[in-house]
Amino acid sequence: MTSQPAPAALPADFPRGVALLHDPLLNRGTGFTEAERRAFDLNGLLPPRVLSMQEHAARILENFHKKPTDLEKYVYMSDLEDRNETLFYRILIDNLDTMMPIVYTPTVGQACQQYGHIFRRPRGLFISARDRGHIADLLRRWPNDDIRVIVVTDGERILGLGDLGANGMGIPGGKLSLYTACAGIHPSTTLPITLDVGTENPTLLDDPLYIGLPQHRLQGEAYDSFIDEFMQAVTTRFPDVLVQFEDFANHHAFALLERYRTRYRVFNDDIQGTAAVTLAGLLAALRLIAAEGGPRRTLAEQRLLFLGAGEAGVGIADLVVSAMVAEGLSPEEARQRCWFVDSKGLVVRSRADLAAHKLPYAHDHAPLSDLAAAVNELRPTAIIGVSGQPRTFTRAIIESMGCHNERPIIFALSNPTSKSECTAEEAYTYTNGRAIFASGSPFPSFTLYGKTYNPGQGNNAYIFPGVGLGVVVSGARHVTDEMFGAAAHALAEQVTDDDMAAGRIYPVLSRIRDVSAAIAAKVAEIAWREGLATQPRPDDPERAIRAYMYDPQYTPLV
């Protein structure tokens, strides 16, 4: 197993003076000791007082809380990351409840919408349609050869916000921040990439400050050959890399995953990560019901109704089906327990307008026009919103779920918060506090009838960092669906009795590095067991995984 980068012996060309202060991976500002200031020609370039990391962090947090809007807080933290990555990650890890909604969803959605207007400093690589035939040359310009995780987007379907083109770069950067904060992947080994193939967003095409190509998107063979060139070039340049596809539109996401999943080390977080975090929530919800004295039900006994039949919904259903099969159902029986409503109503076999990815879940049933009719007719035990359409879980629908179920499971997973199918307050209020609720973006605690409810956040950050860590430490050649199933069960197992007592179906964020380590261990074991690993299995895998995880500290340089 390859260890994380460590500054044991400094190279002869280690930067000095101003060059050192301008390197965000090495700079520690007023945290440089007096000995380091003398050794690296920093005296006079910094104020004379040396501050500890804790003192340095206190100053950052004081200014952070003075910012009047979340977007300004996002910009402030981005500037810190550009100056001092060690301090950025120390603050992020120690204040994850506060920082994750800023550096990632929901604020990152607004940041992407305004990306060209708040642009400060380029991070990662922008590879555009104009670079066709020369992508390998661009990748050679990246200074670090040891890249282990890449998050890449083409910006066509950013969260629930649609086509944001090159402005979508905020998503790969945010995801990789969570790889480091939540799973300890060293930031020097990560690389965000945006594939700028154009945009169909008229607002961006007319915006003089848009940072991307002001042209329509590549389509068909031109698009496919561009992605093929990228995948071949990036895996040649970085042979140990894991590539995470992020926020590609449905018509590309499924095809790209199927095309590359057995050729390269890739996965699609919108399909597979969302599936795993949702499956974990369902398993934990069933545990919660039983822990409260309710009936002990298996996953195979549930009837799920999805609003939205895109990559997230179908990805969830596919993984749920695999879990139901493991509980004894046949694949056909398991699929019969998963139903979908899309923009045209219930997905049924008689419809002639269904895309290929919906066909396995097109059942024999009379057409139904909308979600409300489907809830009343099918009486699901859980509704799962992945539609990107806000407030579509109406009061009538939520009350209907409460009529049919003692503990209705209501997952409103669309991001950002403005796109959520309902609020936590609505779910609890319209079921008299009986709902088991989870959302994609955070909602605050809510008190009803004297009881405080702690909404679960079914955020993919509980899954993809740990999966990535397990793939990296084992050197798995491919990322399999079995790994995501194992990740889901590992996450559900991390929900403690205290979590259950508080009504939570996901662990508290303060424990997310422990959660990621547990997931990584399960994923790595699959790689070793199935002969997919390129790194030898250590005698104590869990200890080795913990040792690999980066912990941001000001370690002495001299």
The answer as to whether 416 is a domain residue is yes
Do 153 and 110 sit in the same domain of this protein? yes
Boundary residue ending a domain (264, 288, 318): 264
Separation between Cα atoms, residue 312 and residue 460, nearest integer Å: 11
User: Mean pLDDT for each 10-residue chunk of the chain (558 residues)?
Assistant: 53 93 96 96 96 96 98 97 97 96 94 94 95 97 97 95 96 97 98 98 96 97 98 98 96 95 96 97 96 91 96 95 96 97 95 92 95 97 95 97 97 92 96 95 89 91 98 98 97 94 91 97 98 96 96 93
User: 116-122 contacts: CB < 8 A, separation 24 or more?
Assistant: 116/167, 116/207, 116/209, 116/210, 116/211, 117/209, 118/71, 118/75, 119/211, 120/75, 120/78, 120/79, 120/82, 121/82
Residue 13 is predicted with a pLDDT of 87
Same domain, yes or no: 525 and 474: yes
Distance CA 119, CA 75 (A): 9
* Interatomic CA distance for residues 93 and 85, integer angstroms: 12
CA torsion, ordered 361, 365, 366, 370, to nearest 10 deg = -40
Contacts of 434 (CB under 8 A, 6+ apart): 402, 406, 407, 408
Verify whether residue 175 is a known catalytic residue. Answer: yes
User: Is 390 part of a structural domain of the chain?
Assistant: yes
Nearest to residue 369, comparing CAs of 344, 400, 350? 344
Residue 30 covered by a domain = no
Is there a domain that residue 432 lies in?
Answer: yes
> CB neighbours of 1 closer than 8 A, spacing ≥ 6?
473, 474, 475, 535, 536, 538, 544, 548
The number of domains in the chain is 3
The answer to whether 404 touches 303, Cβ cutoff 8 Å, is no
What is the domain-level CATH number for residue 359?
Answer: 3.40.50.720
- Residue 396: what pLDDT? 97
**Strands (DSSP E) found in 182-294:** 190-196, 242-245, 266-268
Q: Using CA atoms, how far apart are residues 488 and 277, in angstroms rounded to an integer?
A: 6
Do residue 341 and residue 357 come from a single domain? yes
What pLDDT does 7 receive?
46
Q: Which of 269, 264, 190, 194 is nearest to 232 (CA)?
A: 264
pLDDT at 3: 46
Let me know whether 297 and 445 are in one domain: yes
The residue segments making up the domain with residue 483 are 463-548
Q: Which two tokens stand for residue 543?
A: 């200890």
296 and 381 inside one domain? yes
Q: What is d(CA 340, CA 151) in angstroms, rounded to the nearest whole number? A: 29
User: What pLDDT shows up at residue 381?
Assistant: 98
Burial code of 74-94, b = ≥16 C-beta within 10 A, e = fewer? bbebbebbbbbbbbbbbbbbe
Q: Which of 175, 358, 419, 522 is catalytic?
A: 175
Angle between helices 220-237 and 250-260 (to 10 degrees): 50
Distance CA 205, CA 155 (A): 14
Domain match, 242 and 115 both: yes
Residue in 74, 104, 462, 554 annotated catalytic: 104
DSSP 282-314: HHHHHHHHHHTT-----GGG--EEEE--SHHHH
**Which residues is 382 bridged to in the sheet?**
304, 409
Task: Give the Cα separation of 487 and 521 in Å (integer).
Answer: 9
- Please work out, in degrees rounded to the nearest 5, the angle formed at the alpha carbon of residue 84 by the alpha carbons of 81 and 90: 80
Same-domain check for residues 122 and 208: yes
Residue 60 lies in a domain: no
Phi then psi dihedrals of residue 338, to 5 deg: -120, 120
Whether residue 277 sits in one domain with residue 384: yes
Q: Of 403, 434, 459, which one is at a domain's C-terminal end?
A: 459
Strands 345-346 and 338-342: antiparallel
Instruction: Check whether residue 281 and residue 218 sit in a common domain.
Output: no
Q: Is residue 415 part of a domain?
A: yes
Residues 391, 487: one domain?
no
Length of the chain: 558
The H-or-E segment that residue 340 falls in is strand 338-342
Question: Same domain, yes or no, for 301 and 382?
Answer: yes
Domain stops at, among 459, 481, 497: 459
Residues 477 and 501 in one domain: yes
The Cα–Cα gap between 380 and 409 comes to 9
**Cα(439)–Cα(453) distance, rounded to whole angstroms?**
13
Q: Which of 518, 501, 522, 499 shows the shortest CA–CA distance to 509? A: 499
Non-local CB neighbours of 389 within 8 Å, separated by 6+ positions: 307, 308, 414, 419, 421
Q: Which two tokens stand for residue 10?
A: 């400094």
From residue 391, alpha-carbon distances to 44, 174, 402, 421, 427 in Å are 57, 26, 17, 4, 11
